[in-house]
Amino acid sequence: MDINSVPQDDSSTYAKNKKAIYAVGEDGKVGVVTSSGWEVEEAATKQALNDLEEHAREAYEVVKSGEKSALYFHMYDVRMDLQVLSESTGFFKWTINKDFHPEKFAKISDKRLSVYSEAMGKTPQELKELPKGLYE
Amino acid sequence: MSNFEHSHSAHCESGVMSSMLRHHGLSLSEPMIFGLSSAMTFAYLPFLKLGGMPLIAYRSMPKSIIKNIRKNLKIKMKLETFRSVEKGEERLDELLAEGKVVGAQTSVYWLEYFPEEMRFHFNAHNLIIYDKKDEDTYLISDPVFEEPQECSAKSLNKSRFVKGVMAPKGLLYYPEYVPTAIDLKPIIIKNIKKTAKKMLNTPVPIEGLRGIKSLAKSIRKLQKGDKRYAKLFLGHIVRMQEEIGTGGAGFRYIYASFLKEASELFNDNETLSEASTLMLEVGDEWRNFALSIAKSIKPKKEIPYDALADQLLGIAELEATVYRKMLEFNGK
């Protein structure tokens, strides 16, 4: 790729940042050029972001209906899934699944809740509640 | 105030090492660091999942650039990990108070200066902390950003001590001795051979050109499964390839730059110069592949599985010609 073909697509996923790319200059040397985005990359990033958003939205509805505990929504809200949450807390997946039960989660120990709080960067109080008015 | 100079790089780990060594009087470009540490590779690990998707890497394992540079350039480099956040923070402050610039491994997700759009759970990011602005604010040279950044202690601590796959464990690293005059030539010769051989002759079908062929096979297999998953999988390939801080085609371009620089060091060596040009073409082909995927994952589009797989096999063929060209280089 030569420096003139480095895409400058002002991708929204770059959030006004620029990325350094190596390309061939007129002198034949390969050096750094900044790029404001590439629509191909933007499409792939957006696909992933939409997927995360969709999970969080679905989880929000499920929790709202009382089927699952608020923890289930917060997991997706911090862009995690069961695998990542399990790795970040050190809890087995099946024990986390239990905490998705509203009645079980209501009785969770402070100690266990604080591990979730630490891993997910939310206060214990926040984890127990579903934020009001999201996706409405 | 520290006199550290920030620079914008294509990749975090090679960028950190290049800036850090320059700060210590050894000026090596990012591509030179990348080439001298044999960092270019391809790995497809279907059994190792990241966010539910298999790991596809276009460069060697995290920390391997740091470790290979340390070994190949005979630099004394200290790497420290910590059991607790408190100890990790204390040590960082101590090192900064001594006037050191310190490399760190972090998560991307918890770094507050990363925009929402780029925040994913990836734990092997690298950056340099070069000073403190005040009690609670660190000054950060993050190689993938154009300008230096600021980060609160809370956010940095969280990023350094995140648990899970490739957990950083608070990793800090800094050189204790850096030679200022190095004969690069023998190291270049050795690492060009090493990279070429690694890519051409991998014993297992998950690395090198065999890894690329395995990925092509997996794409063909997608047509038997769920289409939504297939599109996510293909999008994932592009993200692993192009996203900020990773960059698959990006790595091919970095390596092309390394080959060009190496050619100049060897009195404009023709073989290396040709290899550089070929490697640029490889980078372009990876980008074309990403483009084909981007077209096929749009809603309502049919996925041309076999065509995508064939395109990937074409890339493997082209890469093979570069590595064979690199093996022709005899160091003269």
Q: How many CB pairs under 8 A join A and B?
A: 132
- pLDDT band for A94, please (50, 70, 90 cuts): very high
Average pLDDT over residues B103-123: 93
Please judge whether A21 and B243 are an interchain contact, meaning their C-beta atoms are less than 8 angstroms apart: no
Residue B181's pLDDT is what? 86
Which bin fits B76, alpha (ψ -120 to 50), beta or left (φ > 0)?
beta
Q: Are B257 and B35 in contact (CB under 8 A)?
A: no
Please judge whether B120 and A47 are an interchain contact, meaning their C-beta atoms are less than 8 angstroms apart: no
Which bin fits B137, alpha (ψ -120 to 50), beta or left (φ > 0)?
beta
Task: Name all domains of chain B by residue range, CATH numbers in brackets.
Answer: 12-177 (3.90.70.10), 184-328 (no CATH)
A 63-82 residues with CB < 8 A to B: 78-81
Looking at the fold, whether A117 and A71 belong to one and the same domain comes out as yes
Per-residue pLDDT for B90 more than 70?
A: yes
Q: Is A64 part of any domain?
A: yes
Per-residue pLDDT for B60 more than 90?
A: no
Nearest to B146 among A34, A51, A88 (CB): A34
Average pLDDT over residues B258-271: 96
Cβ-Cβ contacts under 8 Å, B231 against chain A:
47
B 154-173 residues with CB < 8 A to A: 158, 162-165
Looking at the fold, whether A62 and A10 belong to one and the same domain comes out as no
Looking at the fold, whether A61 and A116 belong to one and the same domain comes out as yes
Per-residue pLDDT for B325 more than 70?
A: yes
Looking at the fold, whether A22 and A75 belong to one and the same domain comes out as no
- pLDDT band for B280, please (50, 70, 90 cuts): very high
Please judge whether A22 and B163 are an interchain contact, meaning their C-beta atoms are less than 8 angstroms apart: no
Q: Is A80 part of any domain?
A: yes
Gap from B17 CA to chain A (nearest CA, Å) = 16
Per-residue pLDDT for B232 more than 70?
A: yes
Looking at the fold, whether A31 and A67 belong to one and the same domain comes out as no
Which one-letter amino acid corresponds to residue B34? F
Average pLDDT over residues B214-232: 93
Looking at the fold, whether A12 and A60 belong to one and the same domain comes out as no
| Interatomic CA distance for residues A123 and B63, integer angstroms | 33
Pairing, β B76-80 against β B172-177:
antiparallel
CATH of the domain at A78: 1.10.260
| Burial letters B163-188, b for 16+ CB under 10 A, else e | bbbbbbbbbbbbbeebeeebebeebb
For residue A115, the chain B residue with the least C-alpha distance is B163
Q: Is A133 part of any domain?
A: no
Average pLDDT over residues B54-63: 84
Burial class from Cβ neighbours inside 10 Å (0-12, 13-18, 19+) for residue A95 reads exposed
Residue B55's pLDDT is what? 85
How many structural domains is chain A composed of? 2
pTM score: 0.93
- Share of residues in chain A with pLDDT > 70 (%): 100
The mean predicted confidence, pLDDT, of chain B is 92
Per-residue pLDDT for A23 more than 60?
A: yes
- pLDDT band for B247, please (50, 70, 90 cuts): low
Average pLDDT over residues B145-165: 96
Residues 6 or more apart whose Cβ sits within 8 Å of residue B121: A79, A80, A84, B51, B107, B108, B109, B164
Gap from B266 CA to chain A (nearest CA, Å) = 15
> Would you list the DSSP string of B28-41?
--HHHHHHHTT-EE
- pLDDT band for B1, please (50, 70, 90 cuts): very low
Residue B248's pLDDT is what? 65
Average pLDDT over residues B85-91: 98
Residue B50's pLDDT is what? 73
Average pLDDT over residues B46-74: 87
Average pLDDT over residues B268-287: 95
Q: How far, CA to CA in Å, does B311 sit from each of A22, B19, B199, B213, B290?
A: 23, 37, 18, 11, 10
Domain span at residue A21? 3-37
Q: Is A27 part of any domain?
A: yes
